[in-house]
A and B are shown apart, each in its own frame.
Chain A
Amino acid sequence: MYVAVKGGEKAIASAHRLLAEERRGDRSVPEMTLDQIDQQLGLAVDRVMTEGSLYDRELAALAVKQARGDLIEAIFLARAYRTTLPRFGASRPVDTSSMVVRRRVSATFKDVPGGQILGATFDYTHRLLDWSLAGAGQGNGDATSGSAAQPSRNGSDHAQPGNDAAPHGSVLAPLGGRLPRAIDALDREGLIETEEPDPDDRPVADLTRDGLGLPADRDARLQNLARADEGFVLALGYATQRGYGRNHPFAGEIRVGEVEVELVPEELGFPITIGEITLTECQMVNQFKGSATAPPQFTRGYGLTFGHAERKAMTMALVDRALRCRELGEMPISPPQDEEFVLSHSDNVEASGFVQHLKLPHHVDFQSELVLIRTLRSEAQARAR
């Protein structure tokens, strides 16, 4: 006789044990430490921090380890921890012009005040597998492959001194305390739309507290894009380059480095520095033909991430600009310009969960469908006779 299926509880416990086994892998291979992940898989840690909206290298490294390298799962772990943390205030806006820059390139100018600083980049490497990395302790990579740890810059005599390759905690001193943003030159000529900072006391949108309201303000949109899945935003940004919401972009500037985070505690009433974080910022410059009320000028798209994540910052800037179409009087006709479409589907924790929930049992719904389709079929057959 049939006995109703039982054993969910035991099955789950066994599955968790097996998962722990598989995560650890062959025990003759040394276990990874969080330091190793932080230092040697640093870009994975950066992505988890960015999309997890949680700046903590150690926790992100733990998430990467626990998730067996599945970064979307690691982002999920970071988010589910972050959600339990108290919110004791909002920082002051960080000033990226006072960033201690490790890398800074502008595609719109041959030279910029402060110089082009190449820093550590894959950009000009030849993507040849570096066999010298294959064995443990076999040196630090093949210098001829292009990933040489040498500072490299061109242009200005005022290039900053120091070791560009320092992965974290850069030793660079900022030039005169500030490295002005490359596109500020356009700003002085009025060739690019001005960007007025909001007053400090204006509350900032926080999607993790209030949900997404539509149409969304730009602060909420940018937060959504910063947390958004890199692959999704990359595809949308790419689509704008191929004609779907084309916005004629130039990489005005990409900079990577450390900035101080300041908070004004209520009881003090003046800002104090609570820490230093690594950021990647992209200012995209986009053509704009002008409208009935605005003369032709360049417009901006903006991207910002935790850690070193240039691809994400750049494509975020492209999509940010695409989503500004209504504000600039452009017809929203392509998916990257469709705010509701983009913002509702950008979150990989939401998307991954909902797609994968199809694995959960659905036999009650399916049974209802079975009953319906049998009824319809028997009626169709009766009609045919």
Chain B
Amino acid sequence: MSAYNFAFLDEQTKRMIRRALLKAVAIPGHQVPFGSREMPLSYGWGTGGVQVTASVIGPDDVFKVIDQGADDTTNAVSIRQFFERTTRVRTTTRTDAATLIQTRHRIPETPLRKGQIVVFQVPIPEPLRWLEPREIETRKMHALEEYGVMHVRLYEDITRHGHVETAYDYPVLVNGRYLMRPSPIPKFDNPKLDRNPALLLFGAGREKRIYAVPPYTPVRSLDFEDHPFTVERWDHTCALCGASDAFMDEIVVDDKGGRMFVCSDTDYCERRRGR
């Protein structure tokens, strides 16, 4: 790999991305366009997250990658190997031992602490995209803080179904100003975004956008006074560790409809089992 720079990207590109990150941190929740590079990973596999990670990772970092909460899913393994090859940094599966965590679709159950950075892989950064397909329009709507359409959509869901019909990538308002997609994390994880002590960075490679939630920033999931935001609950506890406060994966165990529930966060589950 000697033909490639530390963490694959050249230093000029990293600097460009870090400048976008600084702007993103300065304007929490605002999408900053950046000159996204073509990466040796496929679009949709986390190219935005990988570029953000590559531009902030240093030789002293301890790196963790999760996908669906697990360190051992194939894409998490692949991204961890990519940075092992290109940076030789230490890697870990322990949330509390990591300085830098790249994630797809989950926020770890173990509370994050000050100084940690979490990098989210983002497929579609624009929260208004399903309501307005045109970038030219949505940019205006953000500039004018014109988020009425989203409230109307949530209202229509409630009048029609009694619930907001969004289970993941549930829209949030960051620092009382910008509407933001938290990436496709389950809404179960949304409360963890609020005033989190870690720095949360979001990278969308194909869509060429970066945004951020700096430490301790208020993040509110959209709701109504008479229909407050709620998260998923399970009637089951984890079949492996007994946790009742974690997001559960449902595992089909036979072909007769048998099911069991286990923690989606494999590190959390293992550590509860005392390993």
Binding site for B on A (CB under 8 A): 2, 4-9, 11-12, 76, 79-80, 82-84, 86, 208-215, 340, 344, 349-350, 352-358, 360-365, 367-372, 375-376, 379
Contact = CB atoms under 8 A, between A and B. Distances in A.
30 contacts: A2-B251, A4-B266, A6-B72, A8-B74, A8-B77, A9-B72, A12-B77, A12-B78, A12-B81, A76-B42, A84-B4, A84-B8, A211-B33, A340-B135, A340-B136, A353-B45, A354-B206, A360-B45, A360-B74, A362-B184, A364-B105, A364-B168, A364-B264, A365-B186, A367-B249, A367-B264, A368-B186, A368-B187, A368-B232, A371-B233
Contacts of B165: 372, 376
A350 B36 CA distance: 12
B262 interface: yes
Contact of A364 (B78, B106, B240): B106
A360 B73 CA distance: 9
B188 A352 contact: no
A367 B259 CA distance: 13
Interface string B246-275: 011111010000001010101001000000
A368 B168 contact: yes
B139 to A, nearest CB: 9
A367 B136 contact: no
B183 to A, nearest CB: 10
B182 to A, nearest CB: 12
B10 A357 contact: no
Nearest to A373: B167
B228 interface: no
Contacts of B206: 350, 353-354
Interface string B164-205: 010111000000000000001111100000000000000000
B239 interface: yes
B187 A364 contact: no
A361 B106 CA distance: 12
Nearest to B5: A84
B163 interface: yes
Nearest to A80: B40
Given A79-B38, A211-B33, A367-B247, A2 B262 contact: yes
Contacts of A210: 35
Contact of A356 (B37, B42, B105, B253): B42
A214 B43 contact: no
B192 to A, nearest CB: 14
Nearest to B134: A340
A367 B250 contact: yes
B123 interface: yes
A367 B186 contact: yes
Contacts of A362: 68, 105, 184
Interface in B14-62: 33-40, 42-45, 47
B211 to A, nearest CB: 14
Contacts of B169: 365
Contact of B260 (A2, A7, A208, A211): A2
A184 B180 CA distance: 52
B73 A2 contact: no
A5 B135 contact: no
A376 B44 contact: no
A77 B75 CA distance: 19
A86 B10 contact: yes
Q: Which of A11, A340, A371 has the most CB of B within 10 A?
A: A371
A371 B167 contact: yes
B201 to A, nearest CB: 18
Contacts of B105: 362, 364-365
A377 B52 CA distance: 41
Given A83-B39, A354-B206, 16 more contacts: A2-B240, A4-B266, A6-B72, A80-B39, A84-B4, A211-B36, A340-B134, A340-B136, A353-B47, A354-B43, A357-B42, A361-B73, A364-B185, A368-B232, A371-B232, A371-B233
A2 B70 CA distance: 16
B76 interface: yes
B41 to A, nearest CB: 8
Q: Which of A79, A362, A367, A379 has the most CB of B within 10 A?
A: A367
Contact of B186 (A6, A353, A364): A364
A365 B250 CA distance: 12
Contacts of B239: 2
A375 B135 CA distance: 35
Nearest to A86: B10
B148 interface: no
B207 to A, nearest CB: 9
